[in-house]
Structure 1
Amino acid sequence: MTPLVLTGADVLRAGRLARDVLAVSGGRIVADPPTGARRVDLSGFRLLPGIVDAHGDGFERHLAPRRGAMADLGAGLDAAEAELAANGITTAVLAQFWSWEGGMRAPAFARRVLAALDARAEEGTDLRAQLRFETHMLDDYADFEAAVAAHRVAYVVFNDHLPHARLAEGRRPPRLTGQALKSGRSPEAHLALMQRLHARGSEVPAALDALAARLTARGMLLGSHDDRTAEDRALWRARGVRIAEFPETRAAAEAAASAGDAVVMGAPNVVRGGSHDGKVAAADLVADALVTALASDYHFPALKQAAMLLAPRLGLAAAWALISERPAAMLGLADRGRLEPGMRADLVVLDTAGRVGATFADGVPRYMAGEAAARFLM
């Protein structure tokens, strides 16, 4: 890639937006423009750090737009990467289930996704796997741990989606037939599986303690999902699980933040003005400095939208840090999230209306459109 010197733009660095020059060479931001670098005038645009998405499952629709329709998962990941780049995302943690729910959440499908990620070229948009493990799958603990090691997965989140209250009452869970069809099972077989997993609930805490200890000893990032109470968070923290994804209540978020745990909230929650199902509003937690990072959850465009909505209240630098510098630090990615010399050349070009005009990941152009594209093509 030819070295670049980007001039005339307002650059977000050191906590402020100011007119500056940004030089890129060898996939890195450099202090001095290299000899022979190509100069591009980006007057009227803003340059911001590339977005780091700490948790997103929007990639699923690219892998299987219809059930069983996508045989080549590599092509699906390419399509997902194109959407990520169009939304300014340069690092994406793809949240893949390992679940009894079956279908695209089944262990067999998770292995296919991991293999497809392993086969991708390393340059450009950084796609990483997060495995979301259903805690009551006691017979899968060994296979899950082996897959984590074989595919060098660095981030595991623990889920429990069993409808325990309904199962304890002997009642059929809601939406059973639709969920069974997605899993490839009959409703009766799907219900029987849930009942078997629920019945072994007393075995889960000890098994989970041991698994978390082994993963923690390997230096892995561990997260919990949908914590409801401060007590929930304390139990996870005792296991070495230091990331709270999408806590459902203020009490759970406060408990995490006060103990120094990371809190991840959904950007769509900010964009909507609150949770779609009545849980705590992410913007309120952000205002009270309880949120470490925002994540796309199910909608990639929401990250940029959320930052722009929060900017008038927090300032652009602080709002943008929630989707760049802070998630990068949480994930242990010290080489991105800021536009400083030596960092990966992950950057987003925004026009005055806040639209993405270009996205560079590792110094490689991944998306260009409109006037920004014209400037680079001159």
Structure 2
Amino acid sequence: MRPSLTLTGARVLGPDGWTDMPVHLAGGRIADAPAGRSVDLDGFRVLPGIVDLHGDGFERHVAPRRGILDDVRPGLLNTDAELAANGITTAVLAQFWSWEGGLRGPDFAERVIAGIAELQPRVATDLRVQLRIETHLLDEHARAEALVARHGIGYVVWNDHLDHARLAAGRAPRQYTGQALKSGRSPESHLAFMRGLHARDAEVPGAVAALSERLVSAGVRLGSHDDRDTDTRAAWRARGAAIAEFPETRVAAEAARAAGDAVVMGAPNVVRGNSHKGNVSARDLVAAGLCDALASDYHYPALLWAVRRLVADGVLDWQAAWRLVSEGPARVLGLADRGRIAPGLRADLVVLDSDDRIGATIAGGVVSHMQGAVAARFLA
């Protein structure tokens, strides 16, 4: 049910900055005239709903321990509740398609994506999928392509997590024993599997280019992950990957920006002030104007906290900082119907209290989360 409402009294973050204008909701959209009952939100702020274009925090809900849960649906419903509690109205769940196996393997990916498709009509959050395909998992590329077509997946990112340097030197990758246990393989068979993938290195560029071309022709947005230098970014751009996710260096981010590619950084990196892996600081890229959007990465609460950190540190004002979690990611994803508060757009809203806490989330005109003083206003 999508109620008609008019929100009054709040400070509203519109396309041109803060305003006191009321926000009208009707039919799941922002209307240009009063609609339904009026709710007084004096003392609160209303902002565009958060668009998270890469988050894998759902993994701990669908697979809290290896082999414990067969049904992913309860975990996905819990994920939806967490997303809403963090002001996220559009969530791209980043699912691996990897040789790592377990919750990152193709079998599990198919179950999760089927579960998302089944549950979407039952939740308010717009749940979408990003498929993270490992470049060297060549024998599963066709299956991945079929999955993308079957579920209309609109965003694919290429990854390569093989430790090529150690494999080329005849050494075992670090932590491969733990990976083997998660994948259900013995350490010996897992190591042999990785060596086999590495041995096909010469086949990868052609196979990735061919699949990328087909995906782009089908309207899929492509991204690369962890670019380290100009040449790497240029190579991915040539394959149609116009989104640079989490570039590891400023040089790679500058190369992306110079070519008109989108740069996505992790919100936890902003909150920490630096990368936990020692890569370039997302905060520094934001300050330099080299970041188009922030993503939750592995921690959904980090999106709001990153905005707060950028504002508190004087890096950006509220409007510019919030754009990195709303209009910016919506634009990267090609979603012109959200990310701003304007008539005709989706009624995706976040209500913040005076302490910058989320009091309510409205996704597509439906209340997906509400608590405390804000709830009292709606019930009055």
TM-score range relative to shorter protein:
over 0.9
TM-score of the two chains, using structure 2 as the length reference: 0.98
Structure 1 residue runs of 4+, over 3 Å off? none
| 1:354 match | 356
In 1: Cα distance, 2:243 partner to 2:3 partner: 39
Q: Which moved more, 1:82-91 or 1:308-317?
A: 308-317
Deviation sequence 1:38-59 (CA, Å, 0-9, x none): 1111000000000000100000
Query: What percent of counterpart residues are identical?
Result: 63
Measure, in 1, the Cα distance between the counterparts of 2:68 and 2:31: 44
- Secondary structure of the residue aligned to 2:285 is helix
Alpha-carbon distance between aligned partners in 2 of 1:171 and 1:73, rounded to the nearest angstrom: 36
Cα distance in 2 between the residues matched to 1:191 and 1:72: 29
How far 1:89 moved relative to its partner? 0.3
In the alignment of these two chains, the number of paired residues is 376
Residue 7 of structure 1: aligned partner:
8
Q: Which residue in the other structure is 1:284 paired with? A: 284
* Residue 141 of structure 2 is aligned to residue 141 of structure 1: yes
Tell me if 1:95 matches 2:94. yes
| Residue 156 (structure 1) aligned with residue 156 (structure 2) | yes
Summarize the alignment of residues 224-235 of structure 1 with structure 2, pairs less than 5 Å apart. Answer: 224-235=224-235
2:22 counterpart of 1:21: yes
- Structure 1 residue 177 displacement after superposition: 1.2
Distance 2:19 2:142 in 1: 52
CA displacement at 1:70 relative to structure 2: 2.1
1:40–1:376 CA contact under 8 A, matched in 2: yes
Equivalent-residue separation in structure 2 for 1:295 and 1:94 (angstroms) = 11
TM-fit CA distance, 1:69: 2.1
Aligned-partner SS, 1:224: strand
Once the two structures are overlaid, the 10-residue window that deviates more, 310-319 or 210-219, is 310-319
Q: Where does residue 293 of structure 1 map in the other structure? A: 293
Looking at structure 1, the residues matched to 300 and 141 of structure 2 have their Cα atoms a distance apart, in angstroms, of 31
Cα drift, residue 144 of structure 1: 1.1
Indicate the residue corresponding to 1:368 in structure 2: 370
| SS at structure 1 position matched to 2:119 | coil
2:45 is matched with 46
Root-mean-square deviation (CA, aligned residues, Å) is 0.9
2:3 touches 2:366 (CA, 8 Å); kept in 1? no
TM, length-normalised to structure 1: 0.98
Residue in structure 2 matched with residue 183 of structure 1 by the alignment: 183
**Partner of residue 323, structure 1:** 325
Q: 308-317 or 129-138, which moves further after superposition?
A: 308-317
Query: Structure 2: where are the runs of 5+ without partners?
Result: none
Structure 1: runs of 5 or more not aligned: none
Taking the aligned partners of 2:131 and 2:22, their CA distance within structure 1 comes to 40
Write out per-residue CA displacement over residues 172-197 of structure 1, whole angstroms, 9 at most, x where no aligned residue: 11111111111111100110000000
Aligned residues of 2:132 and 2:158 also touching (Cα < 8 A) = yes
Return 262-271 or 25-34, whichever deviates more.
25-34
